Amino acid sequence: MPRKRKSSLSRVSSQRQAKRLAISLESLEDAELRRQEKAERQAVFRASETSSQRQQRRLEQAERQATLRAIETLCSKSAKAIRTSGTSGRLKSSGNT
- The per-residue pLDDT for range 25-52, each reduced to its tens digit, is 999 999 999 999 999 999 999 999 999 9
Alpha helices in the chain (DSSP H): 14-25, 28-48, 51-96
Does residue 81 have a pLDDT over 60?
Answer: yes
pLDDT of residue 38: 96
User: Which sign does the torsion angle of CA 65, 66, 72, 76 carry?
Assistant: positive
Q: What's phi and psi for 6, nearest 5 deg?
A: -85, 155
Domain parsing of the chain, residue ranges: 16-91
pLDDT of residue 2: 76
